[in-house]
Amino acid sequence: MPDAVVHSPARTGSIDAARVRAKPYWNPYLVGFLLGLVLLTTYLVTGRGLGATGAFSSVAAWLAGFAGAEHVAGNAVHSRYLNDGAPLLSWTLFLLIGAFAGAFLSGLQGGRVRPTIERGPRISDSQRMMLALAGGFLAAFGAKIARGCTSGQALTGGSMLNVGSLVFMLAVFASAYALAYFLRKEWI
């Protein structure tokens, strides 16, 4: 027996049915204010802002270590994430471990933790998984070139009025808006 769904049946799926039971998200301006306070506190304590991509670079450096220590030390990118031989003791990686726990807690409170694959009604689960994998690859590669992502450049640099961060933000939105029409079946 499928879950009762109050909206148009053509749009229903497990995701939409789950949403009916989930609590609403908070007001975006309120969450933005709180996120701004987290960012400000991070600056005041550590002298640096938030970041996320660095954690993935640290894990990559750790994995590359299995191909040999001299391989990592000789690589211009991996070697920056060596962290004196303990790449997994990366600050950003621990930040993301905390973020995982924080998001899980928030999701539990809101009734939003359940195994799903998020997609629009017009593509299949496997197509969506492939696109997620490809998108992650591109986002990470782009973040490496830009030296930061939405956390490290947009939020962190933006609040310091960093010119490069503002350029990054404009480029991200320009690119995504330009491609949105072609990807509409993935999302709406």
Partner 1 sequence: MFPLVSHIEFSVGADLALAVLLGLGFGYCLERAGFGSARKLTAVFYLFDMSVVKVMFTAIVTAMVGLFVLSAIGLLDLSGLYLEPTSYAAQLLGGLVFGAGFIIGGYCPGTSIAAMATGKKDGAAFALGMLGGVMAYAEFTPGLDAWIKATSQGELTLPSLTGISMGWWTLVFVAFLLAAARGMDWLQHRFSYLKPAAV
Region 27-66 residues binding partner 1, contact defined as CB under 8 A:
28-29, 31-50, 52-53, 55-57, 59-61, 63-64
4 in contact with partner 1 (CB under 8 A): no
Q: Which is nearer to partner 1, 1 or 145 (CB)?
A: 145
Q: Which is nearer to partner 1, 1 or 98 (CB)?
A: 98
Kindly determine how many residues on this chain lie close enough to bind partner 1 according to the rule CB under 8 A.
Answer: 131
162 in contact with partner 1 (CB under 8 A): yes
**What are the C-alpha distances in Å from 35 to residues 28, 73, 89, 150?**
10, 37, 25, 13
172 in contact with partner 1 (CB under 8 A): yes
179 in contact with partner 1 (CB under 8 A): yes
69 in contact with partner 1 (CB under 8 A): no
What torsion do the CA atoms of 26, 30, 31, 35 make, to the nearest 10 degrees? Answer: -170
Closest by CA position to 76, among listed 59, 95, 57, 93: 57
Contact set for partner 1, span 77-136 (CB under 8 A): 77-78, 89, 91-92, 94-107, 110, 112-121, 128-129, 131-136
What the block records as the tokens of 35 is 């996120």
The SS3 of residue 181 is: helix
Q: Which is nearer to partner 1, 8 or 70 (CB)?
A: 8
What the block records as the tokens of 96 is 């993301």
With CB under 8 A as the contact rule, the residue among 3, 14, 26, 124 that binds partner 1 is 26
**What are the C-alpha distances in Å from 117 to residues 3, 12, 114, 178, 183?**
17, 14, 10, 25, 17
